Structure 1
C-alpha cells in the first residue's frame, strides 16, 4: 500500500507524468489534473497528503488556488508545493507568504526531490516547518548544469514515450480506417459486379424478347405470303375463266 497520496496540478501532461514517476519511487500514489478548478474539486472528493501546484494554469492560477486551499479549514493542513519553472527569490518568498510549503523546480534532481518528500512524510499529519522545507527546497532548486541536463533528458524520454504511444494509436487508427475503406471498396465491387450481372441478364432478356418477336413477325410474313400466293392462284383461275367465256 502507498505511503501517501499526492495531487499534481499541471496543464502539461509531460510534467504530470515525470513527477508521478518520481513520486512512485517514494512509494506515493498520485492523481493528476490540468486545472486549478479540477484540483480543488478533487481535494474535496479525495484525501491527499501532498499537493504539487503549477503556477501558470488555464483559468485560476497557482497562487489563487493556493489561497483557496489555505483559506479552507478542511484543506489548509495539506502541504502545498509550487511545482514551477520560476525560481526567483521574490517568487519563493511570495509563495511562502501565501502558505506554500516550498517551491520545487520542474527540472528537479530526482534524489533531492525524494529526500524532500521523505522529510515531509516523516510527520505527514503535522504542518511542515517552513524553515526546514525551504532549506531542502533551496537545495533542490540550486542545480548544476549536469543536473538540469539530466532532468531535461528525462523530460525528453517521457515526451518520446508519449509520442511513441500517440504514433502507435495513430497507426492503429489508420489501420482501422484502411480496413473500413477496403470493406467499402469490396462492397462497391460486389455491388458493381451484381449490377453488371443484372445488366447482362436484362440485356439477354431484351434480346430474347426481340428475337421471339422477330420470329413471330417472320412467321406472320410467311403466313401472309402463303395467303397472297393462294389469292394469286385464285385470281389467275378467275382470269382464265373470263377468257374462256369470251371465246
Structure 2
C-alpha cells in the first residue's frame, strides 16, 4: 500500500524519473508533469490531491516561484507542502523560497536522509488524525541542515554513491532511448532520401527525354527549312529559265 502521493513538476524527464525512483524506495507513488500549467490544471480539477509537491525552478512558461505563488494562493493547494526541486541552493534562494511558502529546497543531487526524514515528518502530520502508516525512513533529525550528522558517515557516503550511480544509470537509459529514437528517425530519413533520389533519377530521365525531343524537333524543323529553301531556289531557277525562253521568243518575233 502506498504511503503517500507526490507530484513532480519538472521539464526534465530524467529528473522526474530519478526523484520518482527515490520516492518509490519508501513506497511513495508519484506523478509528473513537464510544466506548471499542466500541473495546476490537474490540481484545480481536484482529481487527486498529492501529499507533497516537488517543483523545479526553471520551467517553460510559468517558472517555479510563479507556480509556488499560485499554489499558495489557491484554496485547493495552499496547504500542500511544496519543495523546490532544483540545482539552485544559494542561501538567498532558499530564504526566498521559504518566504514564498516552500517547505524547503531539495537539490538535484538528492540527499536521501534529508528527503526521507522531511517526508516522514510531513506524512506523520498529515496522518495524525488517523492511524499513521508504518515508517521505515532513516532515523535522523528532521532538519538535517542544522542538526548534527549521524555517526555512520561511511553508510551515508555509500548511499550517496549509490544514488549517483542510479542517476547515471537513468541518464544512460534515457540517452540510450534517445539514441534508439534517433536511429529510427535516421532510418526513416534514409528511406525518404532513397525515395527522393529515385524521384530525382526519374526526373533526370524525363528531363533527358524532353531535351532530346526538343533537339529532335529543332533538327526536324531545320531539315524542313533547308528543304523548303532548296525548293524555293529550284523554283527561282525555273523562273529564270522561263524568262530566258520568253526573251528568246520575243527576239525572234522582233526580227
TM-score over 0.5 for the pair: yes
How far apart in 1 are the matches of 2:166 and 2:113?
A: 13
Do the aligned partners of 1:113 and 1:140 also contact (CA within 8 Å) in 2? no
Could you tell me how far 1:35 is from its partner in structure 2?
A: 5.9
Do the aligned partners of 1:55 and 1:84 also contact (CA within 8 Å) in 2? yes
Do the aligned partners of residues 7 and 126 (structure 1) sit closer, same or farther apart at CA in structure 2, a change above 3 Å counting? farther
Could you tell me how far 1:151 is from its partner in structure 2?
A: 0.7
Q: TM-score, normalised by structure 1?
A: 0.63
How far apart in 2 are the matches of 1:171 and 1:133?
A: 44
What residue ranges of structure 2 are gaps of 5+ in the alignment?
150-154
Do the aligned partners of 2:26 and 2:137 also contact (CA within 8 Å) in 1? no
Which residue does the alignment assign to 2:207?
195
CA-atom RMSD in angstroms? 4.9
Do the aligned partners of residues 182 and 171 (structure 1) sit closer, same or farther apart at CA in structure 2, a change above 3 Å counting? same
Map 1:52-131; keep pairs closer than 5 Å.
52-54=53-55, 56-57=57-58, 59-61=63-65, 65=68, 69=72, 74-75=76-77, 78=80, 100=103, 107-108=109-110, 125-126=127-128
Map 1:155-234; keep pairs closer than 5 Å.
155-233=167-245
Which of the two has higher C-alpha Rg?
1
Which residue does the alignment assign to 1:17?
17
Which residue does the alignment assign to 1:31?
31
Do the aligned partners of residues 133 and 44 (structure 1) sit closer, same or farther apart at CA in structure 2, a change above 3 Å counting? farther
What residue ranges of structure 1 are gaps of 5+ in the alignment?
none
The range that moved more, 10-19 or 172-181, is 172-181
Could you tell me how far 1:25 is from its partner in structure 2?
A: 5.2
Do the aligned partners of residues 11 and 5 (structure 1) sit closer, same or farther apart at CA in structure 2, a change above 3 Å counting? same
Do the aligned partners of residues 61 and 127 (structure 1) sit closer, same or farther apart at CA in structure 2, a change above 3 Å counting? farther
Which residue does the alignment assign to 2:152?
none
Do the aligned partners of residues 74 and 222 (structure 1) sit closer, same or farther apart at CA in structure 2, a change above 3 Å counting? closer
How far apart in 2 are the matches of 1:50 and 1:187?
A: 59
The range that moved more, 202-211 or 29-38, is 29-38
How many residue pairs get matched? 233
Could you tell me how far 1:180 is from its partner in structure 2?
A: 4.0
Please identify which structure carries the higher helix content.
1
Question: Does structure 1 residue 150 correspond to structure 2 residue 162?
Answer: yes
SS state at 1:48 partner: coil
SS state at 1:5 partner: strand
How far apart in 2 are the matches of 1:11 and 1:123?
A: 30
How far apart in 2 are the matches of 1:140 and 1:182?
A: 62
